Amino acid sequence: YEKSGFDRGHLAPAADFSDSKEAMYNSFLLTNISPQIGVGFNRDYWARFEKFVRNLTHTFNDVYVFTGPLFVPIQNNDSNKSQLQYKVIGNPPNIAVPTHFFKIIICPIQNPKLTPSPSS
């Protein structure tokens, strides 16, 4: 990542693990890291999005988040076929840079009509 122009972006943000030193340490393992553009994405939009998701825990009892990299193909105008193109960084270049990222957020709502009554 050094001098590549990319941040070591966390898939599960380190700030989500501030209550445990071990969990915080483990959030820096490379299995939780993916190259992300720093200015304009990782340190801006994505950071605000992670804060929004973190704040959902003040509203919902359970918040499930699935995050990952995507490698989205583009349409080749000459052949009209889709092809996968992405940057590779490192020395030697062996770290694929995702073209996109996703987050799936699930916040189950407790429905009082579906909750069993204490007498059942």
Q: Which residues are catalytic?
A: 10
Please give the Cα distance from 70 to 76 (Å, whole number): 19
Please give the Cα distance from 60 to 57 (Å, whole number): 5
Q: Please give the backbone phi and psi of residue 105, each rounded to the nearest 5 degrees, phi first.
A: -120, 125
| Residue whose pair of structure tokens reads 């994405």 in the numeric block | 41
Tokens of 12: 């599960």
Q: Where are the alpha helices (DSSP H) in 68-112?
A: none
Q: Report CA torsion sign: 114, 115, 119, 120.
A: positive
Residue closest to 2 by CA, chosen among 114, 93, 82, 79: 93
